[in-house]
Amino acid sequence: MAYMSQERKAELAPSIKALCKKYGVKATVAVRHHSTLVVTIQSGAIDFIGNFNQRASERPCPEYFQQAKNNLDVNHYWFREHFTGNALAFLAEVIEAMNVGNHDRSDSQTDYFDIGWYINVYIGRWNKPYLFIDPTAQV
């Protein structure tokens, strides 16, 4: 049964925060329902939404992909297909850091699911949009 404690979050948070600092991103780390580790990216120097929209427009049948506006829920199974460049590099590292010590011994063929904990990565939220801070913009 999936379980994420505040103690385990406290162990994982420093490495996640170090990655955020490395990439110039501001994020929070939280636990939801004692089963999910959640990273919410609030602002930063990476244009996640623009990168996602650009990548979606390049795919075959782009009309099937809804353009993101203010926030985005990252599919941690398919993020490599949805992002490029710094956005992809950051997400790959943060998802790896979120899964340190996790296990997945699930077998869907026998309807057996055994995972250490679930993860969610959000870029902005529905009530607080992601704020892209362009590092090349002059003040």
pLDDT at 111 over 90: no
CB-based burial of residue 137 (10 Å sphere; 0-12 exposed, 13-18 middle, 19+ buried)?
Answer: exposed
pLDDT average, residue stretch 69-76: 94
The torsion angles phi and psi of 99, rounded to 5 degrees, stand at -100, 10
Sequence-distant (6+) residues with CB within 8 A of 99 are 119
Token output for 21: 């600092």
Q: How confident is the model at residue 139 (pLDDT cuts 50, 70, 90)?
A: low
137 vs 7, higher pLDDT: 7
Q: How far apart are the C-alpha atoms of 27 and 106, rounded to whole Å?
A: 30
pLDDT tens by residue, 16-44: 999 999 999 999 999 999 999 999 999 99
pLDDT at 61 over 80: no
**Residue 137: per-residue pLDDT:** 72
Mean pLDDT (the chain) is: 92
> Count of CB atoms within 10 A of residue 104's CB?
10
Q: Please, are residues 16 and 39 in contact by the beta-carbon 8 Å criterion?
A: yes
